Structure formats: C-alpha cells, structure tokens
Amino acid sequence: MRFTVAITAALLVVSAGCASSKKSEFPPYDPGPTFGDLQAALAPPAEGEQVLVVRAAKVFVLDDADTILAPGMVVVRDGKIAALGPPCEVPAELECHVFEAGWVTPGLIDLHSHVQTGGWGDINDMVLPINAEFRTSPSIRPGNPNVRRALAAGVTTLFGIPGSGTSMSGFGVLYKTKNEDSTYEEAVFADPGGLKVAQDSNPQRGAGDFGASRAALAWILTDVNRRAVAANAQGRRELALANLQKVHAKELPVLIHTAGSEGVANTARMWRRTFPTRSVLSHGSFDGWKAAAYVAESDMPVNNGPRTIDFVSSREGRVVGMAAEYTAAGVPDFSLNTDAGVIPQEEFFLQGSMAARYGAHDYQMLRALTIHPARAFGIDDRLGSLEVGKDADLAVFDGDPLDPRSRVEAVWIDGELEYDRVRDGQRF
C-alpha cells in the first residue's frame, strides 16, 4: 500500500495512521454513538482489500436521528462504509486522513442536471411531443470539465436528463462524478435512472400539433399514461412504452418539470392522485409555492430550483423564499437543484445557502442536498447519508458546507479519492 504525506492548515494525511501526535489537537469530546463494529472495521486488510479512515472535527451522518459526530471518524472497507464513531486509535498500517477543522458530509446529489455531455447545450428530440423511448445514455461523457468542477464542490451524484422541449422528454441516467479516466460502466449506476417529463411552460409548442396549450399538454400526457397503465393491466410489453410501464409499476421514478401555482397543482394531481407514481415535482418556481399545501397533501416531494425565490410573480411586497414555504407546508423530502447549466453545477451548495438565507432551516437545506433527493428517487439504500453498508461517497469541507466562504478539501466516491484540493488544485 502506498501512502503520501501532505500537511496543510486543514489537511493531514498520515501514513502512520490516526494514532499520531496530531491526535491531541482535537478538542475534548464526550463518547458519541458508534455505528457498526469499529474493531472489525479497523482490522488489517486482507490481500487486495482497501481500508480507509477519515477523521474530522464534525461528521454529519444525515440519518433519521440527525446524528452529528463532533469529532468523528468514518471507516471504509472496499468502497462501502463499514463503521462510524468517535475518533479512536487506528492501526498504523491503515490509510488515515485527518481534517482537524473539517466537516464531513455525504456526497451531494442533484436530481436535475444537463451537464453530462460536457457542453451547455440541451438534449432534445423535437419531432414528437412524447418521447418515452428517448435516452440520454449515449450523450454521457464521464469526467468532463463540468463534472470535474462539480466534483470539486462536493457533488458526487447527478441525474443526467433530457431538456424540456417536449412533454415527455425521455429517460435519464444516474451517474457519479468520477474523474475523466472512468468508464461509462464505472460512472453510471442506473440506466435508465428515471423519466423526465415537462408538463408546463417550455413544451407548449407552436409546431401545429396538439401541444400548444396547457390543456392540450395535459391531454397528451394523460393519453400516453393511460396506454402504459392499460399495457401493464393486460400483461403485455409495448416496446415504445416499456420504461414508462416501469414508471407506472413504480419500478422507476419520474421527475416532472413544472412551474407556477396552476402547473404545480396540476402536476401533483396527475402524477400522485390520478396516476400514483414515484414522482418528484421539479422546479415549482414563480408562484408555484402557493400550491405547497396541496402538494404536501398529495405526499409529493419537491425538487426546487434553479429559481429559489419569488419577488416578481406574486408581488407579496417581500422576497419569498420558496424552500421555506414548501417545507413549512410539510412537503416531504424537499430537495434542491441547479438545472445545470442554468446555474453552474459547482454552485449546487449555494442553492442551499440562499434557501437558508431566505428563511429555510439551514440543516434541513443540507438534507435537501443529500438524503432528501436520495429518498425521493429511491436510491437512499446506497446514497444520501453516511450509514453502514452505503457507498463511501464523502465530501470534506473546511467549514460549514452552506457557507460560501468554505471550500472542499477532498471528495471520495466509492472509497476512491477522486478529488484532493492539495493534489488537484482549486478548480473554480
């Protein structure tokens, strides 16, 4: 096993393990909770096995108990989280990274992103208003420059989706922001990862078909959904609707672009009440927050962004923080997005910062960047929190992750050090 030694104000990587002279620099702490078998997790590695220890001033577990270890330690074995707990002595032969002032969080997850090609153009098929068979998978470029900047901001998982030019845009993929030397198979972990629908505004078409009005868009979507439901009921598979049939069988999630109070209410009605699906309402912007109570009653998660404030549409005489309104209404698993490149992917954390600035609870906005999108999309069995058995996707900040003055010191994905600020430099 090869080790490197690099000392900065925020980072100490020691080949001699965490049992070093730096141990005394941690402030006194009360024994906190331990998750997993620490003794077994710290056992010497078998031949070819990777064991990694990350120790920091704070570890945000983001579990249901809202556990924060201060200070804390995460032990990783072969790309999975093996144990967590208060810092303890670590065998000298184990790779150990110490961040004296670091705050460790799960990797950030953005469910609405368009940077998978490496450019700023969108992926659309504008011939038909319904594209249930369309895919973004051929456009994925792992580790492209936009993805590498996102990685350096602690973003580890993206849902790469088509644009909003048509009512049913097609299926996107869930992929990790690994570096440019990764293959498609190494980066992508769900293909298809889910359906992208554009129900309001953008897809209203002037091409002479039946999609020029909001009512017509609703008819088009209702019709294709009914056909998919009927195919499931009859036990047959239609090639052009095969993945849409999986959406209605709740095997795949669906993300619906919608905005404005009417659009938000219509989306909740269609995708939660008329057609019960694993659906997430994306955007919800302009005065969409005024339908928050109805969305909450429909038990529908909201993925808000890139606009997170309203001061024009509603004319309330104030700047309305949408996150504060949606969460106060009781919307489940509220999350945020960048719609990158509308907002640069590396500024994902800033969505949480501004949402908190305009009235939302700052810790809940950290959840909105991590465990909430994971739960809303059904990938929380492996992502979104630092729990035993989950993927070892960790981001280390040198302070509050929502503070624009903080920077990312290191990012691990599946237990591999994909970004090290000392090694790779500040990317943005």
Render pLDDT for 36-52 as a digit per residue (tens, 0 to 9): 999 999 999 999 999 99
| Residue of higher predicted confidence among 283 and 30 | 283
Closest CA to 322 of 288, 370, 367: 288
Coil vs helix vs strand at 222: helix
Give the pLDDT confidence score for residue 18 in this predicted structure.
53
The DSSP bridge pattern shows strands 6-7 and 72-77 to be unpaired
Residue whose C-alpha is closest to residue 248's, from 220, 276, 273, 223: 276
Q: How far is CA 66 from CA 75, 107, 367, in A?
A: 19, 16, 10
For the entire predicted model, the pTM comes to: 0.92
Within the chain, how many helices (H) and strands (E) appear?
A: 12, 20
Q: Where in the chain is the domain with CATH 2.30.40.10?
A: 6-106+386-424
pLDDT digits (tens, 9 = 90+) for 208-233: 566 678 888 889 999 999 999 999 99
For residue 9, pLDDT over 80 is answered with no
Alpha-carbon 377 to chain mean position? 9
User: How does pLDDT run across 327-336, given as a tens digit for each residue?
Assistant: 999 999 999 9
Residue 58 is which amino acid? K
- Whole-number pLDDT of residue 125: 85
Q: Is the pLDDT of residue 108 over 80?
A: yes
| Mean pLDDT, the chain, integer | 91
Q: Residue 102 — φ and ψ, nearest 5°?
A: -80, 150
Strand partners, 190: 174
The 10s digit of each residue's pLDDT in 113-127 is 999 999 867 788 888
Alpha helix stretches (DSSP H) within 87-143: none
Hey, what are 335's tokens?
């999350």
Q: Which pair of tokens denotes residue 386?
A: 């630092």
State the pLDDT confidence band at 205, using cuts at 50, 70 and 90: low
Query: At residue 103, does pLDDT exceed 80?
Result: yes
Q: Tell me what pLDDT residue 80 has.
A: 98
CA atoms within a 13 Å half-sphere pointing along the CA-CB vector of 123: 25
Average pLDDT over residues 285-309: 97
CATH level 3 topology of 6-106+386-424: Urease, subunit C; domain 1 (2.30.40)
Cα dihedral 388, 58, 379, 326 sign? positive
In angstroms, the CA 331 to CA 299 distance is: 7
Residue 14 bridge partners (DSSP):
96
**Residue 211 buriedness (CB in 10 A; 0-12 / 13-18 / 19+):** buried
Report the amino acid identity of residue 225. N
Q: What is the rounded distance in angstroms from the CA atom of residue 25 to the CA atom of residue 14?
A: 15
| Residue-level pLDDT at 225 | 98
pLDDT, average across residues 140-156? 97
pLDDT > 70: percent of the chain: 91
> Distance between CA atoms of 28 and 50, rounded to whole angstroms?
30
Q: What is the pLDDT of residue 95?
A: 96
Tally of residues, the chain? 428
User: Predicted confidence band at 201 (pLDDT cuts at 50, 70, 90)?
Assistant: confident
> Is residue 182 predicted with pLDDT exceeding 70?
yes
Fold annotation for 108-376: TIM Barrel (3.20.20)
- What is residue 329's predicted lDDT score, i.e. its pLDDT? 98
Return the DSSP state at 270.
I
CA distance to 77, 139, 188, 279, 367, per residue, from 373 (Å): 25, 23, 17, 12, 8
- CA pseudo-torsion sign 54, 60, 63, 65: positive
What pLDDT sits at residue 204? 77
Domain with CATH 3.20.20.140 in the chain: 108-376
Among 374, 351, 348, 338, smallest CA distance to 253 is for: 374
Position 127 scores a pLDDT of 84
Instruction: Compute the average pLDDT of residues 135-158.
Output: 96
| Rg of the Cα atoms in the chain | 22
Residue 284, pLDDT above cutoff 70:
yes
Angle at alpha carbon of residue 160, lines to 248 and 415, rounded to 5°: 105
Percent of the chain at pLDDT > 90 equals 82
Separation of alpha carbons 391 and 414, rounded Å: 5
Cβ–Cβ < 8 Å for 10, 99: yes
Tally of CA atoms within 13 A in the half-sphere of 409 that contains its CB: 27
Write down the pLDDT at residue 119.
80
